[in-house]
């Protein structure tokens, strides 16, 4: 079975490192970046990702602005929005942004496992 690839796009290095470590321990191949620009490069130039963890607030803009690019370049990728403000993510989804799940910070290993299970990853 092919190893699932996950991209983490979050400006907090600790979050990226901890999430990447957790996902690697669970058998996923991970990569992470900290800015929208770097995320755009990864999404446009890399092999397909199965899942993108996408932080809402990044140093160079709002994460949800690249959802259309992800949908265009990585058609099969699932998107999980992450934010310290879960209510904002609910509002963004109501505005028509197409992401598959959202999770509020801080999150636990159990939260991540549950989301991966719900997304069949």
Tokens of 11: 């400006």
> Per the structure, how many domains does the chain have?
1
- Quick check: bond before 60 cis, omega within 30? no
Residue 93 lies in a domain: no
User: Which has the higher per-residue pLDDT, 96 or 118?
Assistant: 118
Compute the distance between CA of residue 102 and CA of residue 72 in angstroms, rounded to an integer: 20
Residue 120 lies in a domain: no
Residue 91 lies in a domain: no
CATH number, domain of 49, equals 3.40.50.2300
Q: Where are the beta strands (DSSP E) in 10-100?
A: 29-33, 51-55, 57-58, 61-62, 78-83
Residue 54 lies in a domain: yes
Residue 113 lies in a domain: no
Residue 71 lies in a domain: yes
Task: Please give the residue range of the domain that contains residue 59.
Answer: 6-86+99-107
| pLDDT of 88 above 70 | no
pTM value surpassing 0.85:
yes
Residue 80 lies in a domain: yes
Q: How confident is the model at residue 70 (pLDDT cuts 50, 70, 90)?
A: very high
């Amino acid at each position: 079975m092919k190893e699932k690839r996950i991209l983490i796009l979050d400006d907090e290095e600790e979050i990226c490192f901890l999430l990447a470590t957790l996902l690697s321990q669970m058998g996923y191949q991970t990569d992470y970046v900290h800015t929208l620009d770097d995320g755009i490069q990864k999404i446009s130039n890399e092999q397909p990702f199965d899942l993108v963890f996408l932080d809402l607030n990044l140093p160079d803009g709002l994460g949800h602005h690249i959802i259309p690019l992800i949908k265009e370049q990585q058609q099969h990728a699932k998107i999980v929005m992450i934010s310290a403000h879960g209510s904002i993510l609910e509002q963004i989804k109501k505005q028509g942004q197409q992401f598959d799940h959202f999770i509020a910070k801080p999150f636990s290993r159990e939260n991540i496992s549950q989301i991966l299970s719900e997304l069949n990853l």
